[in-house]
Amino acid sequence: MANFDFDPVQSGLPGGVNEILEKLNANFVKVETNALVSPVPPSALPIGGSAIGGVKNGGNVVIQSDGTMTAPTPDDGGLIVTKVPFTVGDIRWAGPVNNRYTLTIPNAGAECFGVRMEVSAGRYVVPVADVFTTASATEVVAMNKFAGYVMHGEVE
Sorting pLDDT into bands at 50, 70 and 90, what band is 25?
A: low
User: What is the pLDDT at residue 110?
Assistant: 85
Which one is predicted more confidently, 81 or 22?
Answer: 81
pLDDT (average), residues 61-90: 76
Looking at the structure, do residues 95 and 68 belong to the same domain, yes or no?
A: no
Looking at the structure, do residues 102 and 128 belong to the same domain, yes or no?
A: yes
- What distance, in Å, lies between the first and last C-alpha atoms of the chain? 65
The answer to whether position 38 is within a domain reads no
User: d(Cα 12, Cα 5) in Å, to the nearest integer?
Assistant: 14
The answer to whether position 1 is within a domain reads yes
The answer to whether position 58 is within a domain reads yes
The answer to whether position 18 is within a domain reads yes
Task: Decide: 155 and 131 in contact? Cβ < 8 Å.
Answer: no
Looking at the structure, do residues 87 and 150 belong to the same domain, yes or no?
A: yes
Sorting pLDDT into bands at 50, 70 and 90, what band is 82?
A: confident
Cis peptide before 106 (omega within 30 of 0): no
Number of domains in the chain: 3
Looking at the structure, do residues 2 and 48 belong to the same domain, yes or no?
A: no
Looking at the structure, do residues 63 and 99 belong to the same domain, yes or no?
A: no
Looking at the structure, do residues 83 and 125 belong to the same domain, yes or no?
A: yes
The answer to whether position 131 is within a domain reads yes
Which one is predicted more confidently, 113 or 71?
Answer: 113
Q: Given the DSSP bridges, would you call strands 62-63 and 130-133 parallel, antiparallel or unpaired?
A: unpaired
Looking at the structure, do residues 65 and 84 belong to the same domain, yes or no?
A: no
The answer to whether position 119 is within a domain reads yes
State the residue range of the domain holding 53. Answer: 43-72
Of residues 92, 91, 142, the one with CA closest to residue 115: 142
Sign of CA dihedral 151, 74, 46, 42: negative
The answer to whether position 28 is within a domain reads yes
Residue 23's φ and ψ, nearest 5 degrees, are -65, -40
Which one is predicted more confidently, 7 or 138?
Answer: 138
Looking at the structure, do residues 116 and 141 belong to the same domain, yes or no?
A: yes
Looking at the structure, do residues 53 and 112 belong to the same domain, yes or no?
A: no
Mean pLDDT lowest among 68-72, 89-93, 112-116, 130-134 = 68-72
- Give per-residue pLDDT as tens, 30-70: 555 555 556 666 666 666 555 556 566 666 777 777 767 77
Looking at the structure, do residues 23 and 52 belong to the same domain, yes or no?
A: no
The domain boundary, picked from 53, 72, 91, lies at: 72
